[in-house]
Amino acid sequence: MPPRRYVQQRLEKDPVRAFFFDMDNTLFDLVAAQVAACGEVVNHLGYDDGNELFRYFLSGVHGFESTENIRQYMADRNIPADGLFDEACRIYADEKLRHIVPYPGVERTIKAVRELGLPMVIVTDAEAPDARERLTRCGLQSCFDRTISFDLVKVKKPAPGPFLAALDATGTRPEDALFVGDSLRRDIAPCRKLGIRTVYARYGDRFADTRQEIEADYVIDSISISSRLSGLHKIRCAILYRDNGPASRFFD
């Protein structure tokens, strides 16, 4: 990790000029929302193994958000799909959205960063309609200038395309951007290859098995504003050292 003096000197010389954020499990807990939705689906189908349905979503066979996972779950249990599948998908979508709430401190932090007047972009593997619904649900849609979604770039992270699109949309050089994300493999590693500064939102990463192999520039364990931020409006980005390591001053 860079020493305190180096961090301060770098920020004085090269302030951050654009903020990029992952969405799912960085701004809110999508996994918890999915687990809750799976529970409602299986209850409707007459079962009580919501965690087992969620394992289908984790399997990678159909995709982490594909409702084909529900179809497969039903087929494996000989549950007739006619009528029930469409209803199960509706319940899943409604309950997942209903259970999406921002992490503590997210709204206040994002709105404070917004007040800096710098470009703010969501970079997500979700489709644009899903991203819009989730950000609206969290009260954050108006905080971001642009959303780089899968249907826009046609590739998913860790491919460089989504990050390059964010740089292009803001007219920002990689070294002038800061990306906040919860996945070392899909967020941090590709950003570091491109030269984008990175903040690893460790609090949202439930599945990482490479935490010791990929290093972010900064690591945070929550995303709430520090009470020390009386001078926030005077700076574009200030990064300070804490007892447990470096973290962005926008996060505590």
Q: What is the pLDDT of residues 220-249, one digit of tens each?
A: 888 875 434 322 333 333 333 323 334 444
Which of residues 98, 116, 150 is at a domain's end?
Answer: 98
- Are 51 and 115 members of one domain? no
Domain containing 140 equals 4-28+102-248
Which pair of tokens denotes residue 71? 């179809």
Specify whether 133 is located in the same domain as 212: yes
Tens digit of pLDDT for each residue in 121-155?
Answer: 999 999 999 999 999 999 999 999 999 999 999 99
Q: 111 and 184: one domain? A: yes
Where does a domain end: 98, 116, 135?
98
Assign residue 141 the CATH number of its domain: 3.40.50.1000
Residues of the chain falling short of pLDDT 70: 1-14, 208-213, 225-252
H-helix or E-strand spanning residue 97: helix 84-98
Q: What is the pLDDT of residues 146-165, one digit of tens each?
A: 999 999 999 999 999 999 99
Q: Are residues 90 and 135 in the same domain?
A: no
Are residues 111 and 178 part of one domain?
yes
Between strands 245-248 and 239-242, the pairing is antiparallel
- Domain endpoint, select from 54, 71, 98: 98
Indicate the pTM of the whole model: 0.84
What pLDDT does residue 96 have?
A: 98
Residues 6+ apart with CB under 8 A from 223: 26, 27, 103, 105, 106, 109, 180, 201, 203, 251
Co-location of 136 and 51 in the same domain: no
